[in-house]
Amino acid sequence: MPESQSHRKAKSRAPGKPEVHVPGGGRVDSATSKTATQIERNRSNLPNSVAKLKASGRPRKVLQVPQFLMSNASAEMKRQNVSGTVKNMSGTRRRSVRKSEC
């Protein structure tokens, strides 16, 4: 399935090089040496996107989702024990997520 126009636009606005390979065979949408950014618009693909961020090995992880998925995305990051930032597509709201205490 081709990328939507909003996905491409968000990916181009994210800092760093687009479509960066991560260990384990996946790719994150955009990455610099310190930041990995993953854009996800579908609720069912959130676990996969969080796993890609975790595998990236970057210290700063950003998951960009639509406003109505922000709580689901932060819950998924907590569930997979990934710390980072969840922000909406326009970047007006952000939520910091800490690793869960296990």
pLDDT in tens, 26-82: 889 889 999 999 999 999 999 999 999 999 999 999 999 999 999 999 999 999 999
The two tokens of residue 60 are 């700063």
Q: Where are the alpha helices (DSSP H) in the chain?
A: 5-13, 46-56, 70-79
- CATH number for 5-90: choose from 1.10.150, 2.30.29, 3.30.2010, 3.50.80: 3.50.80
Which pLDDT does position 6 carry in this prediction? Answer: 77
Domain ranges of the chain: 5-90
Q: Are 52 and 26 in contact (CB under 8 A)?
A: yes
* Element of type H or E holding 68: none
Give residue 1's pLDDT: 66
Neighbours of 59 (CB within 10 A): 11
Pair 65, 73: CB distance under 8 Å: yes
Asked if the model's pLDDT at residue 21 lies above 90, the reply is: no
